Structure 1
Amino acid sequence: MPSAAPRSPRPAGRSRRWTAVLGVLALAAGASSLAAPAQALVAAAAPVDFATHCVPPPIAGIPPIDGTTTAQITVDNAAPKVGDTVTVTYTVTKPAAGNPVDLALPADIMTPTGKVTLGGAQPGSVTVTGPKKNPPVPGKAPFPPFSMTGTFTVTAPGSITLSPGDYNIHTSYIMELDTPCTVTNPPAPVSETITATDQPGANERTITLGTATGNPGDQVTVTGAKFAPNANITVAGRAGAAETADKATVKADASGGFTTSLTVNDKATTGIVAYEGTAWDAEKGAGPAAYTVIDDTPLPPGSQKLNASVKAGTLSMSQAGDAVEMSAVDFGAGGPSTGDLQTVTVKDFRGGPAGWSLTGKVTDFTGPGGAKIDAGKLGWTPACTTKPGSPSTCAAGSAGPVGSAGATLASTPDGAVTGGEFTVNAEVTLDVPAFSAPGAYSGVLTLTLA
């Protein structure tokens, strides 16, 4: 019986944004992810000492003991992205509790549990558990070192600190007994620090124009949204893929929005773009928004100008259904649950210079009793075909994880004239952890066309 012993995408800015929601179902798929094995210790981790208050089982007949615990926190990924799952290992190298009697305790009767305290950019705690495994403990000897592991999902960018927290030693020998040990002055010293960064997601910057046509020298009002707050923005005319000399600069407000005027002189201008900084960056820009400069060149005597027009349409999408049935996996084995997205049809009848991008984000998969499979476990392999005669050519997004941060399903590039009709599909795979609780699980995949 234990006692205690004292010791020391693509650019946005299209003419219209469309969003569709596609339900995704998985049968006999799991609950929370199983902890992955810890990797090699990272150099930043350091052992720390902290005062501990341990309460022996009442049957031991001895009072609580205030001692010192030495412990170390390690992680399998010291530079995760938001949405990643990090495995945490809490190793107690010198417990502040021991065997209070002369009777030796046999091997494999101790099961440790505990908490790791998170601080900094993501306050909270991580529950950790160790295996039921220990060497024999001689009478009156300190308990041997032990390790506990758990996982958490990164939800915020920045520096996240990890400190050892309370722990409990449960023994199963003759009777079931617990020795809880709490941190006397929480939180304990920081043993590990990780630096999380934002997960790259779809570019949601947009621009709209006050008018789509004008004479040379006219001003057009340009309004932007979802740029970086307080960023310096360049607004410029485009002639196909090249910029013209027509430029203006403006500073975004605290919400990432702006409104400015651009004087357009170049008759070759077919669109207007806006981007952060001084050089075009598709990941930090929006547009091109279609703009036409009216040719006001005087006609020769005896001439007539014949004016005809082609009416521009819209950018739209439709999908063949709103549910995907995915294959079942076996309890205890886990593995891939697979299916095919309902076919999405994209019609780009705008006739301007802007391409489009179709992106997707997925929620966590939830199941019986609040069980969950992390959104990052869903991946896809996109495919895209272009209807013959379309000015643009569709490109499928990269195969890989979707997650809550999102990924590109398909896109077309900017060009002098863009448009067409496209069919988009994807094979989807949910990596179900082993020993996930049986039942039906569902997540929601939201597709956004911009």
Structure 2
Amino acid sequence: MPSAAPRSPRSTGPRRRWTAVLGVLALVVGATALAAPARALVAAAAPVDFATHCVPPPIAGIPPIDGTTTAQIAVDKATPKVGDTVTVTYTVTKPAASNPVDLALPADIMTPSGKVTLGGAQPGSVTVTGPKKNPPVPGKGAFPAFSMTGTFTVTKPGSITLSPGDYNIHTSYIMELDTPCTVTDPPAPVSETITATEQPGANERSITLATASGKPGDQVGVSGAKFTPLADITLVGRAGAAQTADRATVKANASGGFTASLTVNDKATTGIVAFEGAAWDDQKGAGPAAYTVIDDTPLPDNSQKLNASVVAGTLSMSQAGDTVEMSAVDFGAGGSATGDLRTVTVKDFRGGPAGWSLTGKVTDFTGPGGSKIGAAKLGWTPACTTRPGSPSTCAAGSAGPVGSAGATLASTANGTLTGGEFTVDAKVTLDVPAFTAPGAYSGVLTLTLS
């Protein structure tokens, strides 16, 4: 139940842009041992201010609030390719409202949600949500900052702008209440800009079926386009990620197209793929195109046939926090600053043949007066755990330096059927040279799942 916060002037100066990240590492070089490590901030675009109209819950008995929100947008990929999934983080550093009453609000009752506005080459919006988490809010105190995340898929090359959009603060204390806040003069100022490029060597092969279903033994017409001219093409039935007994071959014409028939006998077939050569290659294949075998086998008397399906999902990751505090190192002695990477959870629910790789790269650690500790000084010892029952087994990357070139944190191999849920951790160590200038140093570790 908010009230107006003081209006702050909209920034008109140049905005400093940063590559968005999935982790920050920080340490302190001090004059004595066990100096308290400094707090590190996630690198992101500079905050922007925009006028906001907030409507308190009717029970609050106060009029709408016209105030100023300060917010910023961060992304995990500053230069994505078409087809990439970009994770967006919308952080409201200063809401346009505060607690209007003397009653203190307890911790973990606020759940934020909102929209990020896309512009430029790919106009649209991204839905973002945040966790139900907040510190206690004293009576008449300012509402705390909060972050919300969401994803979108890049569909067009070019410059894509990201601006803060409308947001809502839902509170669950005594009653379930909402405080929606809308951008007074949309769109809000641009907080981040990414540059998308075409996917190099993108596989444009495609297939279409003349019919989507048939009885066992029926032939289905299959047409293909943009295959390698005059290549030998294999047509195969699929049951999920596994191949069925249905198989045929055809040669592409001089334009890379083909038309063929595939006899479908296997009742397990749920899709059809086409690929160049004798073995499936997702870079030289197309499909699966959905196909249903209509089982016409007569049922015994007084019986019923039960059908079920399993729907494939996506490859995703999340992390338990975005800041790592590393141990302090003495000035003059140098040595190792150590810490634990925030746990990363990878969920591979695609149910296909492809494995995945999680890699990381780090920037130089910057400190007071432009002092630096090189990225090559950071090393890690990865660890990876596979959830029981997962088809794939997670392999931890090799212990060693991370650096600006990057290294593998964890991965799974390709297989007939892959997937599962995995937790990834790492011990991180920064080799701090002796007589490094005292002060707080921060570097940015970016993780990429592919």
**TM-score by structure 1 length?**
0.46
Give the greater-gyration-radius structure (CA): 1
**TM-score by structure 2 length?**
0.46
Question: Quick one: higher RCO (CA 8 Å, sep 6+), 1 or 2?
Answer: 1
